[in-house]
Chain A
Amino acid sequence: MLPSLELRGISKRFGETQALSEVSLSILPGEIHALLGENGAGKSTLVSIAAGRLAADAGEILRNGSPVSFDRARDARDAGLALVPQHDLLIGAASVADNLAFLDPNAPFFESPAARRARVIRLAQRFALDLGDANARVDALPVGTRQRIEIAGALTGHPEVLILDEPTAVLSPDETAALFASLRKRADAGGAVVLITHRLAEVFAGADRLTLLARGRSVKTCRVSETTPEEIGGLLLAGAEGETREKEKDFDTHPSKHAARSAANQPLPSLELTGFAPHLASAVRTENVSLSLSPGELLVLLAIDGNGADTIARAIAGLERFSGRVEVGGVSLPPSGDPLAFRAAGGAFVPADRREEGLVASLSLEENLALPDPPGRVFLDRSAMRAHAGDLLASFGVRAASSTALAGSLSGGNQQKVVLARELSRSPRVLVAVHPTRGLDLASAAAVRRRILDVCRSGAAALVITADLDEAPLFGAPLRVVTRGRLSAPLQPTTPVETLGRLMAGLAA
């Protein structure tokens, strides 16, 4: 059987970084092929090359046995390849309906707005994806919805080879199940699917074969049935600390209890919201929220993207206007939204969109890590910047050629680590982190959770927002589920995952 898609000896270099060295990968018709590897292993680079979005330095691409070369992404699409990138490439100023029309290769040149809206509804039903309001501007939508639009757009062209780069990171459990069902249907009909994911459970439940990349080389390719999650997990964690997705902390030492013990000495809450609601015309209306976090206390908000949890976080960080009252360390923040006031009161913020809001892609790592207050009286103290960056990059395990590498040259997961390194290194009084472990491999995600617990132990209050049902309990802290802008009552981390899932989906527990 000829492979639908075969990559042979692909190499790619970015500046000082060798992203891929002679990687080969063959995708058979009728299979779901999982592509695994730690952050920076080269997964995204490899699929970008396969889909004509990036040119390889060496190697060849074969489609059904014959060599092809893609000068542009369009050539790949015409050859029956579709890529859903990790970060969507939708047109922000256009509506959902227009974006899906642009992504449909068979869309007529002239098409009525009604027909475009009808396509949104049709696709949403066919692929069981919540695509939001057809008339909404895409840049007003949360990343999760945008991801779903991109997936639906890729599927409209009926590609023979569908490549998905971490599609499930932002999907709800139900949507993930529906996506896998539709992928299985495509595979059964002879289509090929390449799936990048960090979730081993999905691989073992849904994929036929897997390929493991490490540091730009392919380490293992086998049938899923011939291996075990333990073996693959071990290979993934090789070199990192041997930790699987288990609870980091016993409950008797978890931070909220610690806080409860010391609450008497520190009566002032670190973060207090009173009758708080973000103002955001186009997003989900958030009901008035009141909550209070003492020093050392951690609260996890569990929500599917688009339910308003990220907006709550952004408004606290001063990036959206709000009504009601936000106090950080007793200082009341202006309702017009002022990130400087939030920072000055001791706030740190990890945004969901690390590329837009987390980093300055065309500045170096050391420059990024020196912001917002670069050292130096008259001239920049470059050696202090280098030393500071060196420490942080090493302690967060960021894979980068050097501290002078541009932030934009790093892989998504490594960029996330840089943002976390910068925010956690400020010894914040309040940490607000949106999807802090999204896109991280298992070992890095565990390390980040430990770091967050560490800052709590040193007296910070933390509000963590996650869409990952399996991750939420791992903090060992109280949870609140956010659905359609409403917060559930506080839940214990021992709450069964099924219950949390039902709450997230908006069903009664």
Chain B
Amino acid sequence: MTQESAARRFVVAAIALAAAAAALVGLTLLAGASPIDALHALAEGSVGSRAALGETLARATALVLTAIAASLAFRAGVLNIGLEGQFLAGAVAAAAVGPLLSGAPFVARAGLLVASALAGALWVLPAAYLEARRGVPEVLSTILLNLIAAAAVSGLVRGALQDPRGDYPQSRALPDAVRLAPLVSGSRATAAIVAAIALALLVTLVVEATPLGLKLRATGLAPAAARAIGLPGARLRLLAFSASGALAGLAGGLEVLAVTGRLYDPFSAGAGYTGIAAALLGGSHPLAAAASAMLFAALGAGSSAMQRDTGVPGALATIVPGVLVLTVLAARARLTQKRA
């Protein structure tokens, strides 16, 4: 969670990408396929066509938001591992509020997204309270809150939020007028990705270039010094924690609004955890984390095509991010050691 120089970040990223490429080639060979064909299929399936690019961007929306949510929290020294739960809280709020909204689509969407962001921020509060008042590490409490959120989704889509017209464990669909239309026909990508990237820029500016951002970074880097210097550490942490939760909640809301149209069980494919991986890969720099999230989304979209065309298991899409993150952490630790 430390600040890194641009040069060092570049070296680390280069090492990690080389390792990921090696893992990709090795695993393809192990699966008995040609690495060239596999890579080709991966590229085709992620950026090769308008539909493929649309799929990548649709997947990227939630990941970009959880990645910047994680970066923001990490930079302030808050280890928010609860993005998954906050994402689900946002999705639940969207599914609960969405069908009730009427009026102009713009107003309905705004109301839905505000509800999602609020839900995500509220889902942070138990962890923030336990940390501030009882000294419970937020790493533990947020993981537990993730489990509670997943169980709550499972219960809600079979109970209070279940679509009355059907037996499936899913909520009522949003009215078509409210749902976001694709940017171009034949693709799943919506304007939500534009909003996510704009938010990534905004968070970057706040963290790197505002007085508030400097205070957040100081608190995250050296809590004891920040306290002695006279920074309101507890308040800054709470601010970053709840803003992080709000961004993750917004990701959940946008997922419902732009991609799924409703809540079902299981809802998340791990968007919260992948966001953390993207933040680690990007050194907790919001823009770098957003770029990493895009990469993970492309891998996810491309791996389905790769499995179809070459028989290489789609699990590769989860293995490669894992290799990337581990390599980055190892390379960073090694470079830090050398410097010290």
Structural contact, A379 and B228, CB atoms closer than 8 A = no
Given contacts A371-B215, A379-B209, A380-B214, contact A363 B228 (CB under 8 A): no
Residues of B within 8 A of A376 (CB): 210-211
Chain A-chain B contacts (Cβ-Cβ < 8 Å), number: 73
Q: Does B26 contact A (CB under 8 A)?
A: no
A residues sitting closer than 8 Å to B (CB atoms) are 54-55, 317, 319, 339-340, 342-343, 349, 351, 356-363, 367, 370-376, 378-380, 422
Residues of B within 8 A of A373 (CB): 211
Residues of B within 8 A of A342 (CB): 230
Residues of A within 8 A of B217 (CB): 363
Residues of B within 8 A of A55 (CB): 338
Per the bound structure, the CA–CA distance linking A376 and B208 in Å amounts to 13
Residues of B within 8 A of A372 (CB): 215, 226, 229-231
7 closest Cβ pairs, A-B complex = A343-B230, A374-B211, A357-B228, A360-B222, A372-B230, A372-B231, A374-B214
Per the bound structure, the CA–CA distance linking A180 and B224 in Å amounts to 35
Per the bound structure, the CA–CA distance linking A276 and B104 in Å amounts to 64
Given A339-B227, A363-B3, A367-B218; 20 other pairs, CB 8 A cutoff? A342-B230, A349-B228, A356-B222, A356-B224, A357-B225, A360-B221, A360-B222, A362-B2, A362-B222, A363-B217, A371-B218, A371-B229, A372-B229, A373-B211, A374-B211, A378-B210, A379-B209, A380-B209, A380-B214, A422-B229
25 A-B interface contacts by CB (under 8 A): A54-B340, A319-B227, A339-B228, A339-B229, A340-B232, A349-B228, A356-B224, A357-B227, A358-B225, A360-B222, A361-B222, A362-B2, A362-B222, A363-B218, A363-B221, A371-B214, A371-B226, A371-B229, A371-B231, A372-B226, A373-B211, A374-B214, A379-B210, A380-B213, A380-B214
Closest CB of chain A to B225's CB: distance in Å?
5
Per the bound structure, the CA–CA distance linking A351 and B230 in Å amounts to 12
Q: Nearest chain-A residue to B218 (Cβ)? A: A360
Per the bound structure, the CA–CA distance linking A356 and B217 in Å amounts to 15
Per the bound structure, the CA–CA distance linking A374 and B338 in Å amounts to 32
Instruction: Name the contact of A360 in the complex, choosing from B205, B210, B225, B232 (C-beta under 8 A).
Output: B225
Q: Nearest chain-A residue to B205 (Cβ)? A: A379
0/1 string, B73-99, CB within 8 A of A gives 1: 000000000000000000000000000
Closest CB of chain A to B221's CB: distance in Å?
5
0/1 string, B149-169, CB within 8 A of A gives 1: 000000000000000000000
Closest CB of chain A to B119's CB: distance in Å?
29
Residues of B within 8 A of A351 (CB): 228
Per the bound structure, the CA–CA distance linking A375 and B209 in Å amounts to 11
8 A Cβ contacts from B202-261 to A: 205, 209-211, 213-215, 217-218, 221-222, 224-232
Residues of A within 8 A of B230 (CB): 339-340, 342-343, 372
Per the bound structure, the CA–CA distance linking A372 and B34 in Å amounts to 58
Q: Give the number of chain B interface residues (Cβ < 8 Å).
A: 24
Per the bound structure, the CA–CA distance linking A197 and B201 in Å amounts to 50
Most buried by B among A360, A372, A379: A360
Q: Nearest chain-B residue to A342 (Cβ)? A: B230
Residues of B within 8 A of A361 (CB): 221-222
Residues of A within 8 A of B340 (CB): 54
Most buried by B among A351, A359, A372: A372
Structural contact, B228 and A319, CB atoms closer than 8 A = yes
Structural contact, A360 and B226, CB atoms closer than 8 A = yes
Closest CB of chain A to B212's CB: distance in Å?
9
Closest CB of chain A to B210's CB: distance in Å?
6
Per the bound structure, the CA–CA distance linking A67 and B229 in Å amounts to 46
Structural contact, B3 and A362, CB atoms closer than 8 A = yes
Q: Nearest chain-A residue to B232 (Cβ)? A: A340
Instruction: Name the contact of B210 in the complex, choosing from A362, A363, A380 (C-beta under 8 A).
Output: A380
Residues of B within 8 A of A371 (CB): 214-215, 218, 226, 229, 231
Most buried by A among B209, B214, B227: B214
Per the bound structure, the CA–CA distance linking A351 and B2 in Å amounts to 23
Residues of A within 8 A of B211 (CB): 373-376, 380
Residues of B within 8 A of A340 (CB): 230, 232
Per the bound structure, the CA–CA distance linking A362 and B3 in Å amounts to 7
Structural contact, B225 and A356, CB atoms closer than 8 A = yes
Per the bound structure, the CA–CA distance linking A360 and B227 in Å amounts to 11
Per the bound structure, the CA–CA distance linking A418 and B3 in Å amounts to 20
Given contacts A363-B217, A367-B214, contact A358 B228 (CB under 8 A): yes
Structural contact, A359 and B225, CB atoms closer than 8 A = yes
Closest CB of chain A to B204's CB: distance in Å?
12
Residues of B within 8 A of A375 (CB): 211
Structural contact, B228 and A317, CB atoms closer than 8 A = yes
Per the bound structure, the CA–CA distance linking A375 and B218 in Å amounts to 15
Closest CB of chain B to A138's CB: distance in Å?
16
Residues of A within 8 A of B338 (CB): 55
Q: Nearest chain-A residue to B227 (Cβ)? A: A339
Residues of A within 8 A of B222 (CB): 356, 359-362
Per the bound structure, the CA–CA distance linking A234 and B161 in Å amounts to 83
Closest CB of chain A to B334's CB: distance in Å?
13
Per the bound structure, the CA–CA distance linking A55 and B340 in Å amounts to 9
Residues of A within 8 A of B213 (CB): 380
Closest CB of chain A to B213's CB: distance in Å?
8
Per the bound structure, the CA–CA distance linking A363 and B215 in Å amounts to 11
Structural contact, A374 and B228, CB atoms closer than 8 A = no
Q: Nearest chain-B residue to A359 (Cβ)? A: B225
0/1 string, B99-127, CB within 8 A of A gives 1: 00000000000000000000000000000
Per the bound structure, the CA–CA distance linking A351 and B231 in Å amounts to 15
Most buried by B among A319, A362, A422: A362
Given contacts A361-B222, A362-B2, A363-B221, contact A370 B214 (CB under 8 A): yes
Per the bound structure, the CA–CA distance linking A495 and B56 in Å amounts to 79
Residues of A within 8 A of B218 (CB): 360, 363, 367, 371
0/1 string, B171-196, CB within 8 A of A gives 1: 00000000000000000000000000
Most buried by B among A342, A370, A379: A379
Q: Nearest chain-B residue to A382 (Cβ)? A: B209
Residues of A within 8 A of B205 (CB): 379
Residues of B within 8 A of A374 (CB): 211, 214-215
Residues of A within 8 A of B231 (CB): 371-372
Residues of A within 8 A of B226 (CB): 360, 371-372
Residues of A within 8 A of B232 (CB): 340
Residues of A within 8 A of B214 (CB): 363, 367, 370-371, 374, 380
Residues of A within 8 A of B221 (CB): 360-363
Q: Nearest chain-A residue to B340 (Cβ)? A: A54
Per the bound structure, the CA–CA distance linking A114 and B214 in Å amounts to 49
Residues of B within 8 A of A319 (CB): 227-228
Per the bound structure, the CA–CA distance linking A342 and B225 in Å amounts to 15
Most buried by B among A357, A361, A371: A371
Q: Nearest chain-A residue to B4 (Cβ)? A: A362
Per the bound structure, the CA–CA distance linking A112 and B32 in Å amounts to 57
Q: Nearest chain-A residue to B217 (Cβ)? A: A363
Residues of B within 8 A of A356 (CB): 222, 224-225
Residues of B within 8 A of A343 (CB): 230
